[in-house]
Every structure is written in structure tokens, then in C-alpha cells.
Amino acid sequence: MFLVASLAVVQLGTMVILYGVARSALIDTGKQQLVTSAQSFSRHLDTLAGHLAEDAKIMSLDYALRQSIAAHDSGTAISALRNFGRRVGASRMLLIDLDGTIAADTARPRELTGLGRFAFPDLLPLAGESGRAAASGVVDGVPYRLVVVPVLLPDPIAWICILVRVDDRFAEELRALSPLRKDIALAGQTAPDAPWSVVAAAGDPMEPLAGIAAPGQMAAAEPQLLTKHGAEYLVLTTPIPTAPGSLPMMAVLQYPLDEALAPYRKIMLYMGALMAGGLVAALIGIGLIARGVTRPVTALAAVARRIADGDYTPLPPVRTSDEIGQLTTALDDMAQAIADREEHIRHQSLHDAVTGLPNRLNLEEQVDQAIDQGHGVALLLVGLDRLREVTNTLGHDLADRVARDAGDRLARALAANGAGDAVIARVSEHGFAILLVDRDAAAAQALAPALVAAFDAPYAEAPYGEAEVTVDLAAGVGIAVYPDPTPGAPPSDTASILLRHADVAVLNARAAEPYVRLYDHAADPHRPERLSLMGDLKIAIEQDALELAYQPKLEPQTGRVVGAEALVRWTHPRRGFVPPDSFIPLAEETGAIRHLTRWGLRRALRQSAAWAAAGHDLRMSVNLSVRDLGDAALPDRIDALLAETGLTADRLMLEITESAIMGEPEAAIAMLRRLADRGVELSIDDFGVGQSSFAYLRRLPVREIKIDRSFVKALDETAQDQAIVRSIIELGHNLGYKVTAEGVENAGSLNLLAEMGCDLAQGYYIARPLMPGAFADFLASHAAGEIPWQATLREARA
């Protein structure tokens, strides 16, 4: 096709060039002819005027005419003028007196007086001087060619004006007298404000004024190429001399270019026919070649593109054994091999290599497809944590066999419970997922116990002839459903969200029997909003947007307030008040607790310094977390803060939970000793509910233990709690510790603690955590003896 197109372009270009050359030559020729015709037109216009003037001179010698003029016989003069006008072809004859008054007019033969003055008086003296005067002009709205001659006797006694109307006959006569072979038209204005119009034409002018001239526009000096009614014309306009005071006139000459090009168009037509024949012959030849070579190659190229797009449909059988046939067979074999490899790769990418079950990606595709099609889905995540331990202990080979056995157990359990259509997928090293389509949470919860029970029997085998190995696989099942029926739950309309929810649920399921949990958004510790909460907490710390509240610590025996515990409070700009147990655990998980501790220490010590300046001798208690114990720079930072505030180290007590110490006891003890060596006092918080080891307890450089509030809040009602608290107080005193009880909720508990010899107490009955201003008011009320529990303590001591 490219060859045919190239040939067609070359031939068409040749025709266009030839036609253009011919057209350009004809245009130049036509312009020259129009210029020559315009010059000839002017000459013959003058010749016509000369003939009329000679005839008029002969008439002016007529004796009878001169006698009628001398005798002012208008009737005779009109008769003579009419007869003469017929002989010379005049349209109108005028007899003009020496003063320019019209004495006779053949157009108005009955009017012998009052004919007015001659419209072009400037022609009269010119005629008297040269014997004749010729010009064009508009008389009474009609264009004429005028010739004026004097009547001599022997001096001029009058003038005769011959008026030849400029019309189509006049134009034809001009063309007959001249070599003009083209169209000619005479145009002018018949009134001062009238548009230009054709007043005479010879040939076919075809609106010669269209685009040529407008009222007041000068005639064109050069021929112009115009298109009128779809045909091309060369048009030349030349002005016609008019009498002074007359409206303008011009001649329009046309050269029809289309007529001149007609013979060349026939030649182009013949050439076009020859070209078409040549192209047809070329197409036939190319078609024969394409049938044998090009078409099969093009078809093979299309097949290659189809293979590139992933379509491996087999090619039709090949009937030839030539090179094209061999290439087709090779291409078909290649497509089939690619299809087989892609199918194998796709299967590997969507299935677990060990169990052959669908993998996580495959499961996500099926879940998303089901949701997009409007189905409800239930996803059960079966967690087998011991699979990881099997891998680490017994190796990957045995772990792989255990995983395959686990897949078989799940398949049997599903089939036995009417869920044989469920999809089983292995989504992690120790996790399997079950997809149920169009099943709700109730159906999933009913099926889950059977999945747990499928792993009641341990896996056993004797690998490599050794002793039998028994693996107990304890399963937990987490369930997530779409749509989530929980009111206010965020949308869970993607597979990734459902898998995450199921993962959270299975973590909770391992806590206790029956090892099955349905995802609960409210109890999800990994909600996305918690991540944003940590970002907001960081900003709040940087902008000093947190507050510290202070809860008084009281000596029950004396009733004195001897200290305060600093407790962080956060009012979020959008969420409002955020409870400490909502962000402190998460801060510990993310490491943000260190920044919070630094901020809290600085704020608390500055407040303690302010109280000291006001005359209040109070020890400040600040909580430390397990991450703080791993901060090697903590002791130096505390030294710097104490130096900044001017406080002594014994004015600061740091409270540490038992769990923080027991996580890494050696490192924790080393850090606590560094703090104690600086004089900072230490306290064990929440004593009695952790996993305390007395072996470590006696090594800790602590000065105080705090009895957990769970033993104190109902102390006056429970004898068992009283025995525990009394024992802890005695133990603490025997070890040399002071003992603080937190969670004092009523007067009875406070009195009992005083009786038991507890060193310090704090709780809502004494005072809630107070902001600095409220704490100052509390101290003032305490000094004035206005707090209710002060009277209770006095009565108890009495």
C-alpha cells in the first residue's frame, strides 16, 4: 500500500504542477490581453467620438439648420436635429444657445422654451476652441456619450450636442469597432448617492462589479483575479473620462479564466485516467504479491500483537510448508508455551507454595469481587501460633507437612458442617482464612467452634525413623463480616480492612475459651484514629497544650498534706477531654512516652518550685514508664531540671510500676540505682497486682511502695482486703519502706489506714486531681481546717 500511495502522490503532484504552470501562464496572458484591450477600448472610444463629431460638423453646415437657428425657429431645428440623429445613431440631440441655454431637445420636442441650461457648460468653450468636445456624462439619470460641435456662421451662433446612450448596443458597437474578444461592461452611478451599477454590457459580464468597486472607490489599475459563481475571472477596470460635474463611469473588462483552462482540463482528465489505470494495475500487482507474502506476514504481525496483549488463542492450521508456514507454526508453539508459563506463574502468584491453597492475594481478589457484586461476606481467620514454633524447633520440612495437614483438617471440618463451598486460603505462615459468601456473623460464629475443634487432636509423625513427634496445634478464630452490623462501625468494604479486623479478633480469641471472637470496633486497640491521636499528642507536647493535675498525698496519722502526684490531662481541640488510659498506653507502645515524661517532669518540678516559694513543703511524685527506664540520659536530664528549679533531689519521687521493673529487671535496677544515687526517691506503684519477685524487690533502691487501689477502694467493707492491706503495710515497714495507699473513697477506709499505720493516703475522698489554682485553694482550706475529712481524722485520733 505504501508503494501505491507513493506512486499516486507522485502522479498527482505532477498533475498539480502541470496544471499550476498552465494556469499561471494563462493568467499572465489574460492580464496582458486585458491591458491591451483596455488601451484599445480607450482609442476606439475616441474614434467613435471623432466620427460623431465629423458627422455633426457636416450637419452644422446645413443651410436650413443655420437659418432656423438664426431665426430662432425651434420647430425646424428640432426636425433637422431628429433627422440627423437618426442617421448617425444618436439617442438624443440638443441645440444649445451661446449662453448655454438649451434651445431644442429631441427628447422633448413639444417643449420649445424653458428647457433649462446645458448640464456640462465646460464642454462648450472647449468645443469652440478645438472644433469639438467629447466626454461621457449622466443626463437626467441616464449615462450618455456626448459630442459637442459649434455651429458657425462664420462665428459660432450655437452648439449642437449629440448624445449616444451608453447601453448594451453601445457596448456591442464598441466591441465591433475594436479587437476586444472578451466581455465588456460599462458601469457608473446614475445619482450621487446611488450604488455603482452596470449600465451597458457586451458578452456575459456576470455581475462584473461584484468585488470590483464601490461608490467613491477608484478603478483598479491592474487586472484582478476574482471568483464569481464558482468561476474564476481576470477583471480589469479602467475609468472613462466624464464631463466636468458628471457622475463617474468606468469600463469593466473580463477574461474568463475557466474557458481558457478548459482545454488543459481535458488534458488533465486524460492524464488522470492514465494515472487511475496505472494505479489499478499497481494495486492488482501488489495484491498478488500481498496474497503470497505481505498478507501472511501482516497476519502474523497481528498475531504477535495479540500475543503481546495476552491473547494466546491457537492459530488456524497451516497448509503450507514454506518459510511463512514454518514461521506460523513456530509462532503458534511460542504462544502456547507463553500461555502455559503465564498460567503456571499466575497459579504460583495466587496460591501458597506449601499447601497449594489460595494465598492472601487470591483471597483478597475473591473478597473484593464478592463485595463489588453486592454480596455479604464473612471472613474467619484461623490462627495457629505454634506453627512458628514448629518451624523454629523442628525445621521447615516438618512445619510444611503440619501446614498441609492443617489445610486438610479445615477442609474436612467445613465439609462436615455444610460449608463445603467456602474458600480456604493460607494468608500467613501461621494463619488460614475461610471465606463465606452470603453468610452473616451468626453463621460464622456457629461454624467457628468446629474449626477450633478440628485441631483438638495433635499432629503426630515419626520423621526420618526417629521417635514420634507430637505437635499440639491450638487454634483461635477471629471473625470479621461485611457489612458490619455494629452501629457506628466504620465501613469495612475491602478485603484488606476485613483481614485486619479478623487479625485483631483472632488476637483477642487466644485469650480464653472458646477461642472465638467477633471483631468489635470499640475494642480495637489498633484503630486508625489512634495513630492520628499519637500525631496530635506529639503536637500537643511540642505546643505545651497539655496540663498537669495534682492529687494530694495525706499522712493519715497527722492529717498533714505532705505531697502531690502529678497526673497528665489532655483536652483535645476536636475530641475534647481524652482520658489518660486512652493515650498513655499507646504512647508507651510508640515511644512517645519519653517525650511526655520529659514534659511532665519539667512542668511538675516548676510547679513544685512555685509551691516551695509560697511556703508549701510538698514532695512531687511523677510516674515513669518502662521506656523511661531505658533512657540512659534520664538521670542527667533530671539533674538539669533540679538545678534549673533550685529544688533538692529529695523533693522528687519517681513512681515505677512492678511490670516496668520485671520486664528487664537488671537494666531497670541499674537505672534506678543511678537515680537513687542522686538522691531522688523511688516508689513502686500498683504494688500487689503485678508479678513481683521478692528477690528483685529487696535489691531495689526504693523508699516507698503504693498499695494498688483495687485493695483500698472497698477497704471498710471487705475483711479480706483489710488483711491484705495490713500485711503489705507490715511487710513494707519491715523492709524499711514507707507505704502509700491509693484509691481512698470514703472516711471508713481512711480511718482504717490510719489505724493500720499506713504512712500516706490519696484518693477521691481526700481530693480529686486538681489544677494548680484549685490545688492552692485546697491547701488554703486545709490550713483553715475546713475540709470534712479533717474532722473525721480528729475524731478517729480522739
Cell of 325: 508456514
Amino acid symbol at 355: T
3-state helix, strand, coil in the chain (%, to 5): 50, 20, 30
**Per-residue pLDDT tens for 666-696?**
888 889 999 999 999 999 988 876 555 566 6
Gyration radius of the chain's alpha carbons: 61
pLDDT for residue 778 is more than 90: yes
Q: What is the pLDDT of residue 392?
A: 76
On the question of pLDDT at 103 being above 50, the answer is: yes
Look at residue 106 and give its three-state secondary structure: coil
pLDDT, position 211: 45
640 versus 428: which is more confidently predicted?
640
pLDDT of residue 99: 86
SS3 494: coil
- The C-alpha atoms of residue 383 and residue 433 are separated, in whole angstroms, by 9
The Cα–Cα gap between 518 and 478 comes to 6
| Torsion angle of C-alpha atoms 686, 691, 693, 697, degrees rounded to 10 | -20
Beta bridge partners of residue 200, listed in sequence order:
186
Strands (E), 334-475: 377-383, 423-428, 431-437, 459-461, 469-471
Q: Which of 244-253, 602-611, 705-714, 729-738 has the lowest mean pLDDT?
A: 244-253
Written as nine digits, the cell of 194 is 446611488
Question: Can you tell me the distance from the alpha carbon of 165 to that of 91, in angstroms, rounded to the nearest whole number?
Answer: 6
**Cβ burial, residue 774 (10 Å; 0-12/13-18/19+):** middle
Q: Which band of pLDDT confidence, cut at 50, 70 and 90, is reported for residue 214?
A: very low
Tell me which residue of 315, 334, 329, 440 sits closest to 379, measured CA to CA: 440
CA distance 668 to 453: 43
pLDDT at residue 525, as a whole number? 61
Q: Which of the residue ranges 294-308, 333-347, 580-594, 714-728 would you say has the lowest mean pLDDT?
A: 294-308
707 is written with which cell numbers?
A: 498499695
The whole-angstrom distance between residue 707's C-alpha and the CA centroid of its chain comes to 62
| Residue 127 near residue 250 (C-beta atoms within 8 A) | no
For residue 728 the three cell numbers come to 503489705
**What are the tens digits of pLDDT across the range 108-134?**
887 777 788 888 888 888 888 888 888
Residues 6+ apart with CB under 8 A from 389: none
Measured from the Cβ of residue 676, the count of other Cβ atoms closer than 10 Å reads 18
Nearest to 595 by CA among 628, 622, 567: 628
Band of the pLDDT at 613, cuts 50, 70, 90?
very high
Write the pLDDT tens digit of every residue in 21-66: 777 777 777 777 777 777 777 777 777 777 777 777 777 777 767 7
What is the pLDDT at residue 524? 65
DSSP code, position 709: G
| Confidence band for 221, pLDDT divided at 50, 70 and 90 | low
Of 331, 287, 325, 285, which is closest to residue 307 (Cα–Cα)?
331
The torsion angles phi and psi of 763, rounded to 5 degrees, stand at 165, 175
Contact 368, 375 (CB under 8 A): no
pLDDT, residue 210, reads 47
Amino acid (1-letter code) at residue 650: D
- Residue count of the chain, please give it: 798
Q: 215: pLDDT confidence band, cut at 50, 70 and 90?
A: very low
What local confidence, expressed as pLDDT, does residue 293 receive?
A: 62
- At residue 675, the pLDDT reads 93
Which pLDDT belongs to residue 433?
92
pLDDT, mean over the chain: 81
Cell numbers at 576, concatenated: 475534647
Rounded CA separation 793/790 (Å) = 5
Q: CA 209 to CA 187: how far, in whole Å?
A: 8
- pLDDT for position 601: 95
Asked if the model's pLDDT at residue 702 lies above 80, the reply is: yes
Domains, the chain: 41-257 (3.30.450.20), 360-522 (3.30.70.270), 529-777 (3.20.20.450)
- Strands (DSSP E) contained in 652-782 are 652-657, 681-687, 704-707, 738-742, 760-762
Q: Whole-angstrom Cα distance, residue 102 to residue 158?
A: 10
Q: Quote the pLDDT of residue 741.
A: 95
DSSP assignment of 589-649 equals HHTTHHHHHHHHHHHHHHHHHHHHHTT---EEEEEE-TTGGG-TTHHHHHHHHHHHHT--G
Would the pLDDT of 206 be above 50?
A: no
The predicted model gives 161-186 an average pLDDT of 72
Spatial separation of the C-alpha atoms in residues 739 and 733, rounded to whole Å:
7
What's the average model confidence in pLDDT over 633-652?
Answer: 94
Query: What contacts 501, CB < 8 A, 6 or more positions away?
Result: 379, 478, 480, 492, 519, 524
Percentage with pLDDT > 90 across the chain: 25
**C-alpha cell belonging to residue 249:** 463611469
Highest mean pLDDT among 430-444, 678-692, 753-767: 753-767
